[in-house]
Structure 1
Amino acid sequence: MAESITEDFIRKIKRSLKRGKRIHRRLPDGGLVYIDRPLPFLVLFRHPKEQTDHPTADFVKANASYIISNQGQTEELRKLVQEIAKTMANEFGAFMLIELMAAPAPDEPLFKIFGPEKQLPATLKVLTKELEGIKISGVRTTVETASNEPLLQEPYCLMAEEDLKKYSILTLGLQLKPVYKDTATGKVYPLLLRTLREKISNAIKKAVFDFVQVQTTHKPVHFQALGRQAVNRVVWRIDKQLTNISDQFRFLLLVTPVNNNEAWEEFRRNKYNKTPTFHYRLMPIDADQLKRKLYNISIEKVDDPTLAYLFRDKRHELDKMLTMLADRNTPAFLYSSMQLYGGVDDHLLKVAEGILAAIPEPTRAKDIDIIPVEEFAAMAEQEINFLKEQYSGVDSGVDVRDDIVGLIVSKGRLNVGTDAKIPRHRAEALIQHEVGTHILTYFNGKAQPLQQLYVGSPGYEELQEGLAVLSEWLVGGLDQDRMRILAARVVSVYHLTKGCNFTDNFWRLKDEYHFEDEVAWDITMRVHRGGGLTKDAVYLRGLVHLLDYLKQGHELEPLLIGKIRQDYIPIVQELIFRNVLRPVPIKPRYLLDPAIRPKLKQLKAGISVFNLL
């Protein structure tokens, strides 16, 4: 319910600030006071008297401390802003007031900063630099500075100059050219508004960060730490809604054949010259109905740009997955797969062909020691118990199943095929791959309040599989045969996307690259399943990108916070700075083993895929 700005209202606001509480109070005519916690800044927007301007008002909502009001309430607003500014200036030693406004004329620059005329503080330089760095396709970025004198004059002045000096308050104005809406009709361009809002929010936070670091007692560790920490209920509701849709189907199981052994026998009987017939699990969902639910989720109600981006990104991925399931076993499946997992670029193809050239023949040991499935399952259970010792929330196990080919982790559990042939020397590497990476990141994600971290961000598979393969190398189990297989998957995906059929891909692996029949079958089946699944290219691609990332001096541990992709790291770091996310509770065995530290140092020094051979 909206409240008038009375003396009592202002007293309550001051009392809440002194107690360190969050403020969320509605004002008349759609106004709002939102202060996440006591902070040495406030962003303000006032609707013009002539008409409301909700699109421009949306820009302030991305901040942790803001007021939305209107010019007609200046008298009441003046008292409220003054009391907030003085209270926070007394607590922090200084205060910053930023007022956003839309440009009144079409010939104005994209951004105009109103600041102190006599001197240009470093804060204004930071804000100018950040705004100049905003690049929007089709929009010319121009930034001008002017005196903030108009902000200090009646009828709309909020604070007298004497008070600004007395309480060390810096007041700035930021005028935006409203390129995010049609000036004639007032119709909003939502994508442009969303992009601009996120970029301007970061520019403001960086300017505030510069100000508070120098002028106040508040010392945030990063500019993102000035963002919102409190997460409103709509965020958790949407997070849960997306997770519920994701939990209704097991994508990999649904696109993996259930008759692998029978199809292999059929293919062999036909002397490898006839594409086999694959059968799949019955579809447990109606893709169209789930899509309806998916797009009924009101993500537009999330005014936090970072969280809204996460949710939109996840919705797009789920949409593509549901399309793929609806197109399973048809030619259309491949095109959706390329949208979801990408294809193979020239660089990755050269790396894959280079590996196959460097290791032209597989190892043909006569007596490979194959570990019994039951023994491997027991080893995996032991490793899961190691995770449970670190975090009691690990609720996982191993299922041995006859409808599974090889190893698959699904919903935090390891599924092992009854016919899985695992060389004993590879057992520990595969356990670190499946348990030490896939299960570990699932439960690290589950330990977070945001469920998307265990469900998986869009495109997370590339980093996941890169980490998983790297873990095999760290524990000494990444042999040359394994690298040949990863490279062959890339080559097979490349030819799949160029129109190559099942039998031709199989014979290429057999004749040109000398893979044994069953290995060539397994690679080809995985790549062609469902109608053409390009996912298998992500193993080598993820490893190449991960090695480059670590070479740049980045740490391995933050990548294990959940099922994220590499470019989500800044987002995750922002949410950690904002205390929305928590520290990682589980570490893999290899990060705790002193014997592996030299290899970790090697990664930071910089090595290529070929150094792993």
Structure 2
Amino acid sequence: MKLTQDKALIDIDNKIDFLVKKIELLNYINPTNIQEQKALFFASKFTVEPKFEYPQVDFNSYELQRALFSVKIEEIDDKVLRNLYEDIIYEYSGLIECIDTIGKGKKFYYNSLRCFGSPKEVDVENAKFILHFENENVSLKSKHRFNVDETEEQFRAYSKRYEFSYSIKHSDKLTAIAMVLNNEQSLILNSNYTFSQADIDILTNHEIGVHMVTTMNALRNPLKIFSHGFPNNTETQEGLAVFSEFMSDSLNMSRLKRIAYRVLAVDSLAKGYTFSKTFRMLCNYGMSEEGAYTVSVRVHRGGGFTKDYLYLTGLRNIYDFYSKGFDLKPLLTGKVSLEYIDSIEYLIDNGFAVPSKHITDSYQKNSNTNKNIAFILENLK
């Protein structure tokens, strides 16, 4: 492998890996008092603004930034790699700023904009287009509920199709109902939630079929940047994950509408909406009070977290990419980005990276039977 001959590159990659191990935004952005604030918010008839608390950040932002920018990437001979590492350092710097300003109002919001951007007008139009479709009849898969232990059993059964292992933990501090922690190779399930079969079908294909698959493929790559992430990898990773739901016939109208609601909620941040105003806006669009609270927490946490609109833009981009006949396998090599597809293929072709071993099971065949969902994806702008 060509990489073994490039000592400067290996040293730089190892230095960056050492510095950014603690930059896991999701470790810090989830409020620790969600349920308490929910009770107060509902008791006030949705008028008292929640006051969220967050985990303590356990690193010095200034020192970490200084050390990161002192890495001598000019010593990398390969121009493609040098440019990639420059982009990655700026990306990590932005994430450090995000973490450092969690709970500090507009400071966090502006840093979130820098890292994740904000919905464009066409994204808002796409979200409203989805919301025009009628809800489907409640299926049997949505009626029976499973507790967190029963849900864990189903995740373990599903995961037997993949040649890797990971840990499963339970938490009552999540804003999501499940998520993968990349650094720990673990799946976290929300212990406050009772899961339907429809939820489990979505989450297994989303969290394990993509997020855990890319985590495990990243670990096979000698360069740690595949694990820590390329710039704008969130949009691609979430797009791949929701596309896996579609291909496995798990993506239903209720789920797609939740993704659309998130776009409108993130857009409300730019309009200066308070938490309660975002909540009421979502209810006016037809969302349940429980669902509106969850989405409002997701986008208002930290001071204004804009990431959630990327699920829809990512899905649109991945659907278009796949529809044009391109191979999704290079996008499964780690926490990579669609806009760096040429760089990924260059790294593989020149011995700096390895092809994906673990392939998302649902990508083997399009099993979608929902004609409305297919119509919507074909017509997103």
Q: TM-score, normalised by structure 1?
A: 0.58
Q: How does 1:83-102 map to 2 (within 5 A)?
A: none
The aligned counterpart of 1:506 is 279
Q: Identical aligned pairs, as a percentage?
A: 26
Counterpart of 1:398 (choices 168, 188, 196) is 168
Equivalent pair of 2:23/2:95 in contact (CA under 8 Å): no
What letter matches 2:331 in structure 1? L
- 1:295 lines up with 2:66 in the alignment: no
3-state SS in 2 of match to 1:285: coil
Cα distance, 1:429 vs structure 2: 2.0
Counting strand residues as a fraction of each chain, which structure ranks higher? Answer: 1
Provide, for residues 497-522 of structure 1, a one-character-per-residue CA deviation record: whole Å limited to 9, x for no partner.
221111111000112x1111110000
- 1:561 lines up with 2:327 in the alignment: no
Provide, for residues 214-242 of structure 1, a one-character-per-residue CA deviation record: whole Å limited to 9, x for no partner.
xxxxxxxxxxxxxx766411111111221
3-state SS in 2 of match to 1:416: strand
The aligned counterpart of 2:291 is 519
Cα distance, 1:266 vs structure 2: 0.9
- 1:550 lines up with 2:325 in the alignment: no
- Would the alpha carbon gap of residues 232 and 519 (structure 1) be closer, same or farther in structure 2, given more than 3 Å must change? same
Equivalent pair of 1:492/1:527 in contact (CA under 8 Å): yes
Once residues 320 and 310 of structure 2 are traced to their aligned partners in structure 1, the CA distance between those partners, rounded to angstroms, is 15
Cα distance, 1:557 vs structure 2: 2.2
3-state SS in 1 of match to 2:162: helix
Once residues 348 and 500 of structure 1 are traced to their aligned partners in structure 2, the CA distance between those partners, rounded to angstroms, is 18
Counterpart of 1:473 (choices 236, 246, 250) is 246
Cα distance, 1:385 vs structure 2: 4.0
Cα distance, 1:345 vs structure 2: 0.6
- 1:609 lines up with 2:377 in the alignment: yes
The aligned counterpart of 2:220 is 447
- Would the alpha carbon gap of residues 551 and 386 (structure 1) be closer, same or farther in structure 2, given more than 3 Å must change? closer
Q: How does 1:6-405 map to 2 (within 5 A)?
A: 231-330=5-104, 331-359=106-134, 368-388=143-163, 394-405=164-175
Cα distance, 1:362 vs structure 2: 7.8
Once residues 282 and 53 of structure 2 are traced to their aligned partners in structure 1, the CA distance between those partners, rounded to angstroms, is 24
3-state SS in 1 of match to 2:187: strand
Equivalent pair of 1:370/1:421 in contact (CA under 8 Å): yes
- Would the alpha carbon gap of residues 610 and 385 (structure 1) be closer, same or farther in structure 2, given more than 3 Å must change? same
Cα distance, 1:286 vs structure 2: 1.3
Once residues 298 and 501 of structure 1 are traced to their aligned partners in structure 2, the CA distance between those partners, rounded to angstroms, is 43
Once residues 247 and 362 of structure 2 are traced to their aligned partners in structure 1, the CA distance between those partners, rounded to angstroms, is 7
Provide, for residues 174-202 of structure 1, a one-character-per-residue CA deviation record: whole Å limited to 9, x for no partner.
xxxxxxxxxxxxxxxxxxxxxxxxxxxxx
3-state SS in 1 of match to 2:132: helix
Once residues 37 and 139 of structure 2 are traced to their aligned partners in structure 1, the CA distance between those partners, rounded to angstroms, is 27
Mark the runs of 5 or more structure 1 residues left unpaired by the alignment.
1-35, 37-227, 389-393
- 1:492 lines up with 2:269 in the alignment: no
The aligned counterpart of 2:180 is 409
Equivalent pair of 1:490/1:540 in contact (CA under 8 Å): yes
3-state SS in 1 of match to 2:95: helix
Equivalent pair of 1:429/1:478 in contact (CA under 8 Å): yes
Cα distance, 1:536 vs structure 2: 0.3
Cα distance, 1:384 vs structure 2: 3.6
> Number of residue pairs matched?
372
Once residues 382 and 312 of structure 1 are traced to their aligned partners in structure 2, the CA distance between those partners, rounded to angstroms, is 41
Cα distance, 1:550 vs structure 2: 1.6
- Would the alpha carbon gap of residues 363 and 527 (structure 1) be closer, same or farther in structure 2, given more than 3 Å must change? farther
Alignment root-mean-square deviation, CA: 2.3
Equivalent pair of 1:258/1:280 in contact (CA under 8 Å): yes
Once residues 22 and 212 of structure 2 are traced to their aligned partners in structure 1, the CA distance between those partners, rounded to angstroms, is 19
3-state SS in 2 of match to 1:253: helix
The aligned counterpart of 1:578 is 350
Once residues 98 and 316 of structure 2 are traced to their aligned partners in structure 1, the CA distance between those partners, rounded to angstroms, is 27
Once residues 451 and 502 of structure 1 are traced to their aligned partners in structure 2, the CA distance between those partners, rounded to angstroms, is 38
- Would the alpha carbon gap of residues 573 and 290 (structure 1) be closer, same or farther in structure 2, given more than 3 Å must change? same
What letter matches 2:167 in structure 1? G
Once residues 535 and 527 of structure 1 are traced to their aligned partners in structure 2, the CA distance between those partners, rounded to angstroms, is 8
Equivalent pair of 2:180/2:211 in contact (CA under 8 Å): yes
Once residues 167 and 4 of structure 2 are traced to their aligned partners in structure 1, the CA distance between those partners, rounded to angstroms, is 35
Counterpart of 1:461 (choices 217, 231, 234) is 234
Provide, for residues 549-587 of structure 1, a one-character-per-residue CA deviation record: whole Å limited to 9, x for no partner.
122221222221111110111001111111222121111
Once residues 203 and 211 of structure 2 are traced to their aligned partners in structure 1, the CA distance between those partners, rounded to angstroms, is 11
Cα distance, 1:426 vs structure 2: 2.7
What letter matches 2:169 in structure 1? D
Cα distance, 1:382 vs structure 2: 3.1
3-state SS in 1 of match to 2:188: strand
Counting helix residues as a fraction of each chain, which structure ranks higher? Answer: 2
Cα distance, 1:300 vs structure 2: 1.5
Q: TM-score, normalised by structure 2?
A: 0.91
Provide, for residues 512-552 of structure 1, a one-character-per-residue CA deviation record: whole Å limited to 9, x for no partner.
x1111110000010001100000000100100111111222
What letter matches 1:520 in structure 2? A
Cα distance, 1:249 vs structure 2: 3.5
Provide, for residues 75-105 of structure 1, a one-character-per-residue CA deviation record: whole Å limited to 9, x for no partner.
xxxxxxxxxxxxxxxxxxxxxxxxxxxxxxx
- Would the alpha carbon gap of residues 379 and 364 (structure 1) be closer, same or farther in structure 2, given more than 3 Å must change? closer
Once residues 368 and 35 of structure 2 are traced to their aligned partners in structure 1, the CA distance between those partners, rounded to angstroms, is 39
What letter matches 2:97 in structure 1? T
Once residues 301 and 276 of structure 1 are traced to their aligned partners in structure 2, the CA distance between those partners, rounded to angstroms, is 49
Cα distance, 1:427 vs structure 2: 0.9
What letter matches 2:262 in structure 1? R
Once residues 194 and 340 of structure 2 are traced to their aligned partners in structure 1, the CA distance between those partners, rounded to angstroms, is 36
The aligned counterpart of 1:482 is 255
Cα distance, 1:341 vs structure 2: 0.6
3-state SS in 2 of match to 1:240: helix
Once residues 293 and 238 of structure 1 are traced to their aligned partners in structure 2, the CA distance between those partners, rounded to angstroms, is 12
Equivalent pair of 1:400/1:415 in contact (CA under 8 Å): yes
Once residues 229 and 530 of structure 1 are traced to their aligned partners in structure 2, the CA distance between those partners, rounded to angstroms, is 40
